[in-house]
Amino acid sequence: MPGPWVITAAGLISAAGDHPDALFSRLLEARSVATDSSDSVPFAAAPILGFDPSSYLRRKGVKHLSRTSQLACAAAGKLQDDLRDRNDTEVGVVLGTGWSSLDTIVRFEHEAHTVGPRFVDPSLFAETVANVPAGQMSIFFGWSAHNVTVAAGPTSGLEALLCAAEFLDEGRASLIVAGGGDELNFHMLRTLQADGLASRSAASLPLAPDSSGPIGGEGACLFALEAERSAASRGARVLGTLRGGTSRPVEAAGEPGVKQRADLIRRLLDDVGIGADEVGLLVLSANAERAGDLREAAVLVDVFGKAMPPALAPKAVLGETWGAAGSLAVAAALQSIQRRVVPPAPPPTAAGGRELGLNLPTEAQPLQVDCALILDGAGSSRFAAVVLTR
């Protein structure tokens, strides 16, 4: 992916707010957004309460979009406010999504039976198709260089950024809107909880010894990615620099899984010419799935040993946002780098992390080095990581 590529705008919709500042404020509070029950889902979850897409998207037809489409387009709208002097025909879109339109598939199939195949709403079918959320982004904002959807399960958010970097390298656009989004919905969460893949308690926290699984969340987070020269010519402010990344399926369990992931991190740092001692911040993907949390800690201990950088665990606040997780983690890292602050972790996460050899602060502390390693995919058989600097 030569580059480096710079991030010049960010747009996000999350349960902690719809702006990177709001997200970071919540991280500084180290307070989870999860609730044991809400109007949108009667289960423990971290939903975006009161999300009104029409307040972000002033066009007809918004209410017919799937929630994934709404989140992705709303985040795009937030980002678009920050884009200046760009030619929409030179802007591309790469969206990562883990689940995409699962809920709409369930709804369409059911409606095709209840009202009958001759009467079911045809526009609902379009929203069952996985690439439509990204397509809607282009339709709303006129971004026409290309439009790609990337499905890599929980690592879709980072995978999308890496794909965008390759496309920039190939000269496919002068600016790419890239990131990830996934919706939370009743059907999915109910099944994941039944299968023990999501926690039934809003108190389940990453790295805590009594964690009972990930808390289902949702969100969308997008970035404007471009070459330094392109940013300079637009007079755009650089929020951070994407130096490199990696994304692979890996062994889900055991020592081989730890070694694989550790090797991938070492190779990544080597590729971008950054030593382990030059990493100032780790952004964890630990999500309260105990085996995955333990493995992530073991991987980092393997790579950094005693020289463990401070770490941030965004899923302690946001829950598991799947395809949005990697991008939200990047957003958190960018804020941390800009403000030179490492937010604290909730006490159980900090204490649990310490037991495992990690370094999560219990109070906000200064960031010493402007370089972050962001991880994605804990608890799954996918691994992704990116390196960001100022």
Partner 1 sequence: MTSDEKLRREVTEIVAEIAEKSPDEVSADARLADLGIDSLDGLRIVAAVEQKYRIVIEEAEIAGIRTMQEIFGLVRKHSAEVE
Partner 2 sequence: MYGARPSITGIGLVTPIGADRQSFWDALVQGRSGAREIRSFDASDLPTRIGCEVGEHEVPPPLRWALLGGRCTELAALAAVQAVEEAGIDVRRHADAAVVVGTTMGEVTQFEQNRAAHPDRAPSVDDVRSLTRRPLDVIGRSVARIWDLHGAVLSVPAACAAGAYAIGVAASLVARGDAPWALAVGCEAFSRMAFVGFSRMRAMSPDRCRPFSLGRPGLLLGEGAGAVVVEPQEAARARGAEVWGHVDGFGLSCDAYHVTGPHPRGAGATRAMRDALTRAGVGPEDVDYVNAHGTGTALNDKTESLAVRAVFGERGATVPVSSIKALTGHMMGAAGAVEAIASLLAMRHSTIPPTWNWEARDPECDIDCVPNRPREARLHRVLSNSYAFGGNNASLLLTAPEA
Which of 2, 39, 60, 306 lies at the binding interface for partner 1 (CB under 8 A)? 60
Per residue in 265-290, is it b (16+ CB within 10 Å) or e — as a string? Answer: beebbeebebebeebbbbbbbbbbbb
Instruction: Tell me the closest approach of the beta carbon of residue 179 to partner 2, in angstroms.
Output: 16
Report the distance separating Cα 44 and Cα 115, nearest Å: 32
Amino acid found at 357: G
DSSP code of 324? G
By a kind-dependent CB cut-off of 5 to 8 A, residue 66 interacts, out of partner 2, partner 1, none, with: none
Helices (H), the chain: 20-29, 67-80, 102-114, 122-126, 132-141, 156-169, 186-194, 228-233, 254-272, 290-304, 315-318, 325-339, 347-355
By CB under 8 A, residue 136 contacts partner 2: yes
Instruction: Tell me the closest approach of the beta carbon of residue 57 to partner 2, in angstroms.
Output: 14
- Residue of 328, 331, 332 lying closest to 343 (CA atoms): 332
In degrees and rounded to multiples of 5, residue 257 shows phi and psi of -65, -40
Which of 4, 29, 90, 106 lies at the binding interface for partner 2 (CB under 8 A)? 106
Which of 51, 141, 223, 304 lies at the binding interface for partner 2 (CB under 8 A)? 141
Q: Which two tokens stand for residue 111?
A: 């409606």
Q: Which two tokens stand for residue 238?
A: 């650089």
Local structure of 225: helix, strand or coil: strand
By a kind-dependent CB cut-off of 5 to 8 A, residue 179 interacts, out of partner 2, partner 1, none, with: none
User: DSSP assignment of 29-43, as one string?
Assistant: HT----BS--SS-SS
Nearest CB to partner 1, comparing residues 119 and 363: 119
By CB under 8 A, residue 306 contacts partner 1: no
Nearest CB to partner 2, comparing residues 125 and 390: 125
> What's the longest Cα–Cα distance across the chain?
65
Q: How many amino acids of this chain bind partner 1 (CB under 8 A)? A: 11
**Which helix (H) or strand (E) element contains residue 9?**
strand 5-14
Q: Which two tokens stand for residue 201?
A: 């308690």
Report the distance separating Cα 376 and Cα 381, nearest Å: 11
By CB under 8 A, residue 115 contacts partner 1: yes
By CB under 8 A, residue 255 contacts partner 2: no
Q: Which two tokens stand for residue 305?
A: 């040993």
DSSP code of 242? E
By a kind-dependent CB cut-off of 5 to 8 A, residue 60 interacts, out of partner 1, partner 2, none, with: partner 1
Which of 99, 223, 304, 383 lies at the binding interface for partner 2 (CB under 8 A)? 99
Q: Binding segment for partner 1 among 68-76, 117-125, 222-230, 267-275 (CB under 8 A)?
A: 117-125
Nearest CB to partner 2, comparing residues 112 and 203: 112
**Do residues 185 and 41 lie in contact, with contact meaning Cβ atoms separated by under 8 Å?**
yes
Residues 314-373 interacting with partner 2 (rule: CB under 8 A): none
Contact map string, positions 108 to 127, toward partner 2, x by CB under 8 A = xxx-xxx-xxx-xxx--xx-
Which of 194, 238, 253, 291 lies at the binding interface for partner 2 (CB under 8 A)? 194
Local structure of 52: helix, strand or coil: coil
By CB under 8 A, residue 123 contacts partner 1: yes
Amino acid found at 95: L
By CB under 8 A, residue 61 contacts partner 1: yes
**Do residues 43 and 26 lie in contact, with contact meaning Cβ atoms separated by under 8 Å?**
no
Would you tell me which residues interact with partner 2 (CB under 8 A)?
A: 88, 92-93, 98-100, 102, 105-106, 108-110, 112-114, 116-118, 120-122, 125-126, 128-132, 134-136, 138-139, 141-153, 159, 163, 166, 169-170, 172, 187-188, 190-192, 194-195, 197, 247-249, 381-382
Would you tell me which residues interact with partner 1 (CB under 8 A)?
A: 60-61, 64, 115, 118-123, 126
